[in-house]
Amino acid sequence: MNGHKAKKSFGQNFLIDQNIIADIVRCIRPVPDDNMVEIGPGLGALTRPLLKTLNTLHVVEIDRDIIARLKTDYPQDKIVIHEGDALKFDFATLGAPLRIVGNLPYNISSPLLFHFANYAEGIADMHFMLQNEVVERMVAAPSTAAYGRLSVMLQYRFHMEKLLDVPPQSFRPAPKVDSAIVRMIPLPAQQIAVKDEALYAKVVASAFGQRRKTLRNTLRDFLAESDFAQLDINPQLRAENLGVAEYTRIANFLHERAVPSP
């Protein structure tokens, strides 16, 4: 599959390090009957080794040149090609439980992660290559520099673990950033304590909207001084000092106040 020039518009960087590729496949641990979809198969760095084990692999690809290669370079009874944008793709159409893998385009990685979260109930696990800085933010603990809105919005839905560091020279062309592999496993529905996800998202966005300000300021549209006391949360803290449990408590408190008791 030589001769394909990476396209900046699609955020393409192709993985070429065979040792890293083997490490990633070991992390994924495919078995023949897996219901698996690969996002952006590119030049097939993961596609080829996965197909050695899998009976069938779904792929979602937007680049027409790569789609043409996918149609000629792989056994068409083993690969199911979905042409289009992963951000608009309905992953529920692939059935459940679904395993998702891929080297995500770094320019749209956060919107993609939120898109996948919409299908969490039907997903078994996800393994992604992402910019290392993004992975560090995903798995960050409260009161650390990397902890932020992305951490809080993903950690209430997923167990996440950074698995591997991937240096720039593992790609062609080499990106200007370090990369990493992350594993995401959706939490069981009964473990998700958030009662109103849209409200939770609003509270988190507001809290992190002005990071340096205290919660008394950033959440003034949501909570009065007496509310902080009732929630046992210090209004002098900043957004990064609260964990998922505290944000859940705030959102559920607001939800219950807005919904009259039966």
Interacting residues of 124 by C-beta distance below 8 A, sequence separation 6+? 96, 97, 98, 99, 185, 186
pLDDT of residue 78: 97
Distance, CA of 230 to chain centre:
34
Between the two ends of the chain, the Cα-to-Cα distance in Å is 63
Token pair of 116 as six digits: 């996948």
Residue 150 backbone class (left: φ over 0; alpha: ψ -120 to 50; beta: rest): alpha
* Main-chain phi, psi angles of 125, to 5 degrees: -165, 170
SS (HEC) of 170-237: HEECCCCCCEEEEEEEECCHHHCCCCCHHHHHHHHHHHHHCCCCEHHHHCCCCCCHHHHHHHCCCCCC
- Tens-digit pLDDT profile for the chain (262 aa)? 444 454 444 445 789 999 999 999 999 999 999 999 999 998 899 999 999 999 999 999 999 999 999 999 999 999 999 999 999 999 999 999 999 999 988 889 999 999 999 999 999 999 999 999 999 999 999 999 999 999 999 999 999 999 999 999 999 888 889 999 999 999 998 999 999 999 999 999 999 999 899 999 999 999 999 999 999 999 999 999 999 999 999 999 999 998 766 5
For the chain, which domains are there?
8-190 (3.40.50.150), 197-258 (1.10.8.100)
Does residue 199 contact residue 255 with C-beta atoms inside 8 Å?
yes
Residue 11 backbone class (left: φ over 0; alpha: ψ -120 to 50; beta: rest): left
Distance, CA of 85 to chain centre:
16
pLDDT of residue 10: 42
Give the whole-angstrom CA distance, residue 71 versus residue 64.
Answer: 11
Largest CA distance in the chain: 66
Give the whole-angstrom CA distance, residue 149 versus residue 156.
Answer: 11
pLDDT of residue 262: 57
Give the whole-angstrom CA distance, residue 76 versus residue 68.
Answer: 12
Give the other-Cβ count within 10 Å of 155's Cβ: 20
* Main-chain phi, psi angles of 39, to 5 degrees: -90, 125
For tokens 């937007």, the residue is 62
Q: Which of these, 146, 122, 123, 144, lies nearest to 134 by C-alpha position?
A: 146
Helix or strand or coil: residue 58?
strand
pLDDT of residue 57: 98
